[in-house]
Each structure stands twice: as structure tokens, then as C-alpha cells.
Structure 1
Amino acid sequence: MTKKDIILSAFLATTAALVGAIACGEYPVASLNRNPVGAGGSPSSGAGGSPSSGTGGESDPGSSGGSSTELPPNTATLPCKVLGDAGHECVSAHSTVRVIVPGYDGPLYQVQSDAGVLDIGSVDGYANAAAQDEFCTKSCVISIIYDQSGYGNHLTPAPRGSAKATPGLPVPADWLPVTINGRSVYGILIKPRYGYRAACNDCPYPDPSTIPSGVPVGDEPQTQYMISSQHDLLHGCCFDYGNAEITANNDGNGTMEAVYLGQGVIWGNGVGSGPWVMADMENGLFPGWENGSFKNISTNTPVNFDFVSAVVVGDTADKNDGKGRFAVYGGDANATTIKEMYDGIRPERPGYVPMQKQGSVILGIGGDNSNAAGGRFYEGVIALGAAEPEVVNALQVAISEAKYGQ
């Protein structure tokens, strides 16, 4: 069996035991159906959208409420196809909007209400939001964001950490409606006190014996991106997606490396008034490093777009004559080009060369569970290796094909 198979088997076998005692609160899993539903959605498939089935599942790609023939076809190249073809395997992939990993046919996320839980699958590669609407007649929260990569890094409400001693809250499921290629779906709107985490000491997923699960550790290179927005950003620490500490504590400089979007709180900034794409490497938000500082980085310009592509590439300590390397990119998620905001040495401070990444995965919070930030999240990926600029450019073209807001 491959490591992915082992993780999936452990996930399915231990779900019942985990849901009763997770530190993040009681957010039980319904099912992880990795088999597509055949035409007609027979009850034996374990799908079909009935609350009693515990899953929103997949539906026949040829039908969605009788109107799918009127919708534009899904012709977008998937982000993890681009990265994978370039040798950068996706080891963490999350979206409540769409499928972003080729061949993935499991649920995208889970909603929970007083009536129970429901896994939300996909229709023609997009989230089956109609199943959520039918199930959530009252209030619902997003209790799990499933990892499409196969490594089991399923995001659940964040456990307590050194910066915030209380667990994070699950986001209400209907806070961020969005249109993508003619489909109505839901993103995730982070506000203070809300946030998610996976692969930490107190996280229910993946199985503790597999932590960290695929995500780079130490000075291993990685490529990360998220799709966000200039809207609903809050000036607090820290609206991140990416690699963080498994302890949920501040373990020092270089113990995390995640994508950040915002004004930089008390740390770095670019030119203009922001927002800027930066790398959160613990104890600092870095838009770059210039003249011995992370302030006023001359090449990092604001990303004032309704849908923002934010990319951070973390390379190894041997680059730039032993000073390490990281790169930051940002742009309009609907454009076919993305700007290189910075590509150079790592911060000239202790701990950042070499890096000491730990391999947990966070969304909407800092590595130490700082949760005073806010922002919009639509999708995000952690992939192995430092992608070259031409790969980042190809990734951006693929993202633009998704047609966010259209």
C-alpha cells in the first residue's frame, strides 16, 4: 500500500473513535466516499444528497437541478495538474468551491447543523452547493474542509495554541456565496476567533502516527498558493494558509512558512497602502527582504483585486550563496499573468536559514493560533519543491481558467 492508501485506511477506520474526543470540538465526520456516483445516484452508492445518508456526495455530472446543460462547460486546467506535471506533488489541497486535484471524487467539505452532518461533494467539478442549501434549512457551520491531495490533512476548527488559549470556531457555511463559471457555491469567510488546522498534536486529522503527512518539514522546499480577495481583510494576525507548527505554539523563527494576505500588522509592508502578499515565517510577515529590513519592499505592490492569487515559494538554505531563498507572487486570479513581488534571500535574522518547518496546515490563523485576522478563502495548496517562475506562470493561467466571479 502507498502512504496515501495507509492514510485513507486509517482515516476510515478511526473516524468513529475520533469524533467523540477531538480537541477542536465535536465535529463528526459523515463519510469519505472516494467512489463516483453513477448515473441516477442509486442509494447503494451512499450519495444522493439525503440527510439520512450523511453525504451530499457527487451527482451525475450531466444533471444539476435540470439546468446543467445551460451552464458553461468546466474546461479549466486543475492547479495540481500543472504542479504535478512539473514535479511538484500537491500534499495539501483544500477548497469548498471546486475540485483542484485531478481524479479527486470525494467530498469537498462537511457542514453541520442541529440535524446532523452532511458531506458536500461535487457536480462537474464544482461544489454541490444545492445539497448544502437543502440540508441547511437553519444555520450550518463548515466542520471539515477535506484534503483533496490524499494525504489526509483535513482541516477542522483549530485547537488552542500559545497565542490564543481557546479553540477556533467553525465558519458559518453561508457567509461567503460566490459565483464561479456560472455556478453558485460558497467560499470561507474568516473573522476573528474563527480558523482551521490539520496535522497538529491536538488535531483529529490525519492519524497521529502519520504527522506530518506529506507536508515539507525542516528546510525542505515547498510551493504554496491561495485564492483570496482584497475584501474583508482585517488588520490582525494573521490571515494565513500553509505550513505551520504541529505544536500550535510559537516555536521560534523559521518554524512555519505560510501564505499571508493583508496589511502586515506590525511587521513587513510593500509600497502603497496594500494589501500585499507575504510569507509568514513566524515572528514576522515578510513581503521580501531589502536593505536589511522587511519594510517598504520596493518590488511588492498592492493586490487590489476582487479575487487574488497569492503564491509563496520557499527554497533551501544553499541558495544565494548560503543566504537561502524565498519568492512571493501576487495578482488578479482572473488574469493570465502574475507579478513576481520578490525573489531573493531569506531574512537575515537567526532561525530563517535554514528553515525549521514542522508540517502542520493552517487556515485563517497564525502558527501559534493567533486568530485576530479576517479574509476570504476559496482554495489553497501546499506542493513539494520550489516551483520555477515558468511553473508559477503556468499555474496562474490555470487559475484564471476557473473564472471566479463569472
Structure 2
Amino acid sequence: MLVIPLLRRRTRLLLAFLLAMAIAVPVFGTTAAPAAAASSGPCDLYASGGTPCEAAYSTTRAMFSSYNGPLYQIQRASDSATLNISLASPGGIVNAAPQVSFCSGTSCTITQLYDQTPNANNLPISPGSSCAGCSGSLSGPGPNGSDIGADAMALPVTVGGHSAYGVLVNNIGTGYRNNAAKNVPTGSQPEGLYMLTSSRLTSGSCCFDFGSAETDDSDDGNATMNAIYYGSACWTGGCTGPGPWVGGDLENGMYFSAAGPNPSNIPSETGEFVSAWEKNNGTTNFTLKYGNGQSGGLNQAYSGALPDGYNPMKVQPSIELGTGGDNSPEGTGEFFEGAVTKGFPDDATENAVQADITAAGYADNTTTFPPPTQSVISLKSHANGKYVDAADNTTSLIADAASVGTNETFDMVANNNGTVNLRAHSDNQWVTAENSGNAPLIANRGAPGPWETFYLLHNSDGSVSLRAYNNQHIVTAEDAGASALIANRTAIGPWEEFDLAGA
């Protein structure tokens, strides 16, 4: 009966002796030791502040000091094989070398972001309108109206001197979503959010979001989502400066204050890496902050009442990245890490997380993007040799003009994601494929959105065709040009071909 205690005491004495010797003996040589795991990560700090992470994602590093699982999954185009990308060490930085080798000679797509919390709220590519019950969703460009994934190699950066890759949302309809998230705040429960992004790629369209959204990928009304929006879309009007700004997408509005516009003393919030913060107590307050992801502390842009009609919040258990709550697909941006927390984080906790981000050593974000270009054009139909006419905002577009005048002239804005928008000179309104492409084209919209977005296709004979984004159908000069233009064709023939003049 005395043997086990005696052995335990001897074992403890031996361990203590060996530890003392290890401390006392100097170590010589130049071989570097493996990098130690971080003493704390963003989600360790949130937990210490009493507002634990319920969903946490990163393509660059661990969000917990103890995390040792995969960060994200990629799929290569050549054979559809998949690979999980993991950490170089527990709690450390991503090991990107396997990705480089795996994607050599082909292209790769990020197909899933892994949640680092025990909730396993992983983010696959968004189902868009393809999911059951998502009939109110805007379609993505993927199969059956789903979204598409980001190019895995398109956003190289370094973290602590090590190679890493971010999530680049630059193609229309790039988005990720989990419509059955576990243990995240719902209803009017307090919630905190942050993400690390960049102003190198933003847009004035809806919506580059990260956070809580609707479970049916649809617009379920005011206050049914609570996400960070980062961009320059001034939904309510009256904004000051060019943006971009950190806002709260609370559904039916991206708010930079209770009234909507950004504070006039903050014309933009920019940087190679930008930390974006939103927290919402569900009834009386939402707060917006931003910071430099490489150095310094946080700046508070707004803290105060929720907008009218948003008290109480009605948040649903869905997490999204890259699109709006109803799968609005036109936002562009960059994502490196982010988290959703339970509770309303205090300033000290957020300051600690900001310090952890700046200490991580993000650098070398050098990816560049061409700005949108604008041309003045006219469209001559091959169906009858006449020009497309937009008489006014109540008359559908039709190819019935023998010559070019104001009604036959359009501004064509070519976006950096391969799409275009058309604005008629006759009424200064944007051309829309009304009713998700089921009604004739008409110039009656004040701003471009999914229905106002087209792919410009270049044909072998030098003509062009337009494919409407939201139903992926080709615009045709129906009845050999005798009827209004409508996006209802699946193949290109003479009725779907136009000469682009004046560009």
C-alpha cells in the first residue's frame, strides 16, 4: 500500500531535478527552435472578457492558442480533388506550402472555411436560391443558383513573415454561408463581430458582409440580420467623403449611424489591412469601430441608438461571408479572419483583440485591381440592323431606331468582375432585367443591383451579347427585333447579337 505513494514522490523529485538541470544548462548552437504557439488568440481574449466566440474563421492563423485543426478546404479544377489547409503548429500560422504544390499547374477554389470553435459552424459555399425554402433568395452564378467560391491563390499575403492566402471576393456571386449555425446569438441577444479586411478592394454595391444573416438566404425584413458591412454603398444617402466605411448591415440598409450616413468627420476608413468591428445589444445600441490591422488601436465611428424600426433585433442563426442577407451578390472585398461572439464585448476586450491582430504581423498585401471603366456606347441589333432605343422609364428597350440619338445612347460601366451595367442617357436610369429577367428590359432603376447587371460576351464575329446575371439567360431582340428586349434565351443566335458602337 506504500509503494505507489513512494514511487510518486520519487518521480516528482526526479522531474524537479531534470527541470532544474534543463534550466541551468546553457544551450549553444544556431539551430532555430520551432515557433511557439501564441499565448493567446483572439477567441481566448474574447472568452476572458466573458463574450466567447461562437464562430471563428481564418485562412491565415489560429484563433485559439490551442487550435490545431484545419483552417479551410480547397478544390483544384484539374481533377476536383480536395485538400484541407492546416497550421504549421498548434495555435500558430497557416502552413501554405501544401496549397502551392497542390494547385501548381491548375486553379484552386476555397470550398469551405472551418469554424475553429467547438460548434463546428463551418462555412461552405452559399446555396443561394438552390436551397430548400430559399425561394426569396437572389440567385448566384453557380449550379442551380448557388454561389461560387473564391480563387484560393488570388490573395497572397504574409503573416509573421510566413506565406498565407486570404479570401478574395472579386467575382460576382462569391459567397459562403451556414444556415444552421449553432449557439450563435439570435433574436435580440447581444452579439459582437469583427473581421480583418482591406480597402485594396471594395465596392459601392451590396454587399460585402460578414456576420449573422437569414436562414433562408432571403430578405426577411428589418432587423433580421446583424453583419459587418465594409464598402462605400451609401444606402440612405447623405454620406460624406468617398468611403469605404465599416457599417452594420441590419437588413434593408447598411447603417454607418442610426440615421444611416457616416459621421462627417470620417470620410473614409482605409488601409492595407483594416480591422472592422460591430456590436449590437439587440435593443438600444450598436457600435462601429475600425483600426489599422498592422499597428495602433481602435477608432470608434459610431455608438448609439439602433435605426428606427430595428428595435428589437430579430437575428436568425445563420452566418455568411461575401454577400448580403438575401444573397445580394455584388459586394467585393477581402477577408483574412473574423469571429462572431455571444454577448456585447467591452472596449477592453476589443482593444486586446486589436493588439493581438497587430502583433500577428500581417504584411505584403500587394494584389491590385483595375478600377471600373465607363464608356459611352450604342447597341445595333443583328436581328434587324436597328439600334436599341430606351425612350423613357416607362417604355421597354426595343431595337427600332434607324440612327443614334440620346435615346440610343448608354453609359456602359465595366466592373472589375467581368460584368457591366448600362445607364440610359434618355432618363439617366439604369437598365434592368425586370422581375429577375422574366420581364422586358427597361431603364427605370436609380442604382445598379443584380437585376441591372449583365455579363458582356464577345462573339467570334466581333459582335457582343448580354447575359443577365440573375437568371443567366441571354438578352434577345425578340421576334427579329419587332418586340422588346428580354433575357430569355439559353443560346446565342442573330437575335442575341449586337454591334457595340462608340466604345
- In the superposition, the TM-score normalised over structure 2's length comes to 0.61
Structure 2 residue aligned with 1:345: 305
Pairing partner for 2:87 from 117, 122, 126: 122
Q: Distance in 1 between matches of 2:245 and 2:127?
A: 28
Q: Give yes or no for the alignment of 1:149 onto 2:117.
A: yes
CA contact (8 A) 2:69 2:86 kept: yes
Pairing partner for 2:55 from 68, 88, 92: 92
- Stretches of structure 2 that go unaligned for 5 or more consecutive residues are 1-29, 130-135, 140-144, 365-503
Pairing partner for 1:388 from 324, 341, 346: 346
Q: Give yes or no for the alignment of 1:164 onto 2:138.
A: yes
How many Å apart are 1:372 and its aligned residue?
0.5
Judged with a 3 Å threshold, the aligned counterparts in structure 2 of structure 1 residues 100 and 296 are, in CA distance, closer, same or farther, namely: closer
Q: How does 1:206-221 map to 2 (within 5 A)?
A: 211-221=180-190
Query: Counterpart of 1:295 in structure 2: which amino acid?
Result: P
Query: Counterpart of 1:177 in structure 2: which amino acid?
Result: P
Q: Give yes or no for the alignment of 1:369 onto 2:337.
A: no
Structure 2 residue aligned with 1:24: none
Query: Counterpart of 2:326 in structure 1: which amino acid?
Result: D
The 3-state SS of whatever aligns with 1:84 is: helix
Query: Counterpart of 1:157 in structure 2: which amino acid?
Result: I
How many Å apart are 1:389 and its aligned residue?
1.7
How many Å apart are 1:171 and its aligned residue?
1.0
Residues 235-256 of structure 1 deviation map (CA, whole Å, 9 limit, x = unaligned): 2110000000011000000000
- Stretches of structure 1 that go unaligned for 5 or more consecutive residues are 1-66, 201-210, 318-323
Pairing partner for 2:160 from 164, 169, 181: 181
Pairing partner for 1:135 from 102, 108, 113: 102
The 3-state SS of whatever aligns with 2:327 is: coil
Judged with a 3 Å threshold, the aligned counterparts in structure 2 of structure 1 residues 247 and 68 are, in CA distance, closer, same or farther, namely: farther
Structure 2 residue aligned with 1:314: 280
Judged with a 3 Å threshold, the aligned counterparts in structure 2 of structure 1 residues 121 and 296 are, in CA distance, closer, same or farther, namely: closer
Q: Distance in 1 between matches of 2:305 and 2:265?
A: 14
How many Å apart are 1:306 and its aligned residue?
0.6
- In the superposition, the TM-score normalised over structure 1's length comes to 0.74
How many Å apart are 1:76 and its aligned residue?
6.9
Q: Distance in 2 between matches of 1:220 and 1:197?
A: 23
Judged with a 3 Å threshold, the aligned counterparts in structure 2 of structure 1 residues 197 and 189 are, in CA distance, closer, same or farther, namely: closer
The 3-state SS of whatever aligns with 2:228 is: strand
Which structure shows the bigger proportion of residues in strand conformation?
A: 2
How many Å apart are 1:163 and its aligned residue?
4.7
Q: Give yes or no for the alignment of 1:273 onto 2:242.
A: yes
Q: Give yes or no for the alignment of 1:295 onto 2:261.
A: yes
Task: Please say which structure displays the higher CA radius of gyration.
Answer: 2
Say which structure, 1 or 2, has more relative contact order (CA 8 Å, 6+ apart): 1
Pairing partner for 1:232 from 201, 210, 214: 201
Q: Give yes or no for the alignment of 1:80 onto 2:43.
A: yes
The 3-state SS of whatever aligns with 1:184 is: strand
Judged with a 3 Å threshold, the aligned counterparts in structure 2 of structure 1 residues 300 and 328 are, in CA distance, closer, same or farther, namely: farther
Query: Counterpart of 2:272 in structure 1: which amino acid?
Result: D
Q: Distance in 1 between matches of 2:34 and 2:82?
A: 29
How many Å apart are 1:214 and its aligned residue?
1.3
Q: Distance in 1 between matches of 2:287 and 2:255?
A: 10
How many Å apart are 1:333 and its aligned residue?
0.9
The 3-state SS of whatever aligns with 2:219 is: coil
CA contact (8 A) 2:150 2:174 kept: yes
Judged with a 3 Å threshold, the aligned counterparts in structure 2 of structure 1 residues 70 and 262 are, in CA distance, closer, same or farther, namely: farther
| Superposition CA RMSD, Å | 2.1
Pairing partner for 2:294 from 309, 334, 346: 334
Structure 1 residue aligned with 2:285: 325
Q: Distance in 2 between matches of 1:299 and 1:325?
A: 21
Question: Which runs of structure 1 show a deviation greater than 4 angstroms over 4 or more consecutive aligned residues?
Answer: 70-76
How many Å apart are 1:264 and its aligned residue?
2.2
Structure 2 residue aligned with 1:198: 177
Pairing partner for 1:253 from 222, 230, 236: 222
CA contact (8 A) 2:195 2:338 kept: yes
Q: Distance in 1 between matches of 2:255 and 2:276?
A: 13
Q: Distance in 1 between matches of 2:39 and 2:100?
A: 25
Residues 330-363 of structure 1 deviation map (CA, whole Å, 9 limit, x = unaligned): 0101123100111100001x2x100000020100
Identity %: 34
